[in-house]
Amino acid sequence: ETGVTQSPTHLIKTRGQQVTLRCSSQSGHNTVSWYQQALGQGPQFIFQYYREEENGRGNFPPRFSGLQFPNYSSELNVNALELDDSALYLCASRSHRDKTYEQYFGPGTRLTVT
């Protein structure tokens, strides 16, 4: 167990709806990244938060947005859901003070869009 927790475990939404996913980072970790993992694929980087600001983003449209809170927990919001948004959403945390690039992943939230 990494200490990174995510909620909910899974959920089902309808196309066009909005969804919020939550992540609690490992103790002492102040940087959170979000990834999307489609079935049979590797995780794709969505964005990263440090000090409550987005400081890196992958090739995802603006309807993917996030927040980081003072306790380093984080949210991923997706608006106007599309069928292709169905995937496992992973958050990963690390300590910005660490000299290594090791990131630790949570168990993920499985989103199904119908």
Partner 1 sequence: QKEVEQDPGPLSVPEGAIVSLNCTYSNSAFQYFMWYRQYSRKGPELLMYTYSSGNKEDGRFTAQVDKSSKYISLFIRDSQPSDSATYLCAMSWAGTYKYIFGTGTRLKVLA
Which spans of this chain sit near partner 1 (rule: CB under 8 A)?
Answer: 2, 4, 6, 31, 33, 35, 40-45, 48, 56, 58, 88, 90, 92, 94, 100-108, 110
Min CB(16)–partner 1 separation in Å: 26
C-beta of 19 vs 93, nearer to partner 1: 93
Closest CA to 28 of 105, 76, 91, 98: 98
C-beta of 24 vs 48, nearer to partner 1: 48
Min CB(20)–partner 1 separation in Å: 19
Separation CA 48–CA 67 (nearest Å): 10
In a 3-state reduction of DSSP, which class is residue 57?
Answer: strand
Min CB(41)–partner 1 separation in Å: 6
Q: Is 100 exposed, middle or buried (0-12, 13-18, 19+ CB in 10 A)?
A: exposed
